[in-house]
Copies of this chain bind each other. A is one copy, B any other.
Amino acid sequence: MTSTDSAQQPTDAPAKAPAKDPWDLPDVSGLVVGVLGGTGPQGKGLAYRLARAGQKVIIGSRAAERAQAAADELGHGIEGHDNAETARRSDLVIVAVPWEGHGKTLESLREELAGKLVVDCVNPLGFDKKGAYALKPQEGSAAEQAAALLPDSRVTAAFHHLSAVLLQDPEIAEIDTDVMVLGEVRADVEIVQALAGRIPGMRGVFAGRLRNAHQVESLVANLISVNRRYKAHAGLRVTDV
């Protein structure tokens, strides 16, 4: 057991310039958000929630016509294009492809994703008779794999712990969960936090650097166990924050 309090400031520390308010987040309402793998349940659910919150969203898929069909189904001004076109047209690109296609897809989009803010939400998991378990990517995590494959992009990680069922259910107005956001550059992380905060019920919480992404990604295996035991669509709240 390790104390989580190691960063606590001594109460008699000398006065310093006030730290930036961690909840002072940028206005991201004008950003175009692309969702690679936007025809899968999670990508589609996330595209729907963001568009419903007023964000301009483009769904990407390997086949443009499948992306277009998903976009038409969801409405809210969502467009559909192939992954490359989606990446080109977007300011911020959410990577929601299956883990199996993760590396290959990103490698093929290196040019289109250059300069973009990339938000990886892929959970490398295996499944067997006992349920889900974590897979450990060679790079450490899916997010670190993305960072390695996309040296000219700004890579962050977020949106791992969402229930596709809840995201896609139009009857549900609020999603009761925090979104852990990881990244190396504070300004990028804050954009993703702000984006998460646009979805009613959600809050984006900074949760560390990319080297600590693996446990956030693989915690989905635990949430699957929770969902099975409690017949739930579990999310996570960070308390005292």
Contacts of A221 in B (CB 8 A): 208, 212, 215
Question: Can you list 11 residue pairs at the A/B interface with Cβ under 8 Å?
Answer: A4-B161, A5-B233, A6-B127, A6-B227, A8-B227, A133-B212, A166-B240, A206-B225, A208-B225, A230-B240, A234-B238
Complex Cα spacing A123 to B215, Å: 12
Smallest CB gap from A99: residue in B: B2
Residue of A122, A160, A166, A238 contacting most chain B CB atoms (<10 Å):
A238
Q: For the side of the interface on A, what is the size category?
A: 35 or more
Smallest CB gap from A136: residue in B: B136
Contacts of A224 in B (CB 8 A): 4, 6-7, 208
Complex Cα spacing A5 to B92, Å: 26
Q: Which residues of A contact B (CB under 8 A)?
A: 1-9, 22, 37, 40-43, 46, 96-99, 121-123, 125, 127, 130-134, 136, 159-166, 176-177, 180, 182, 205-209, 211-212, 214-216, 218-241
Contacts of A214 in B (CB 8 A): 134, 215, 218
B233 touches A40 (CB 8 A): no
Contacts of A40 in B (CB 8 A): 1
Number of copies of this chain that the complex holds: 2
A212 touches B225 (CB 8 A): yes
B226 touches A235 (CB 8 A): no
Complex Cα spacing A232 to B224, Å: 28
Smallest CB gap from A121: residue in B: B1
Smallest CB gap from A186: residue in B: B229
Q: A1-B121, A4-B220, A42-B2 are in contact. Are A226 and B212 (CB under 8 A)?
A: no
B215 touches A238 (CB 8 A): no
Q: Tell me the minimal C-beta distance from A182 to chain B in angstroms.
A: 8
B209 touches A238 (CB 8 A): no
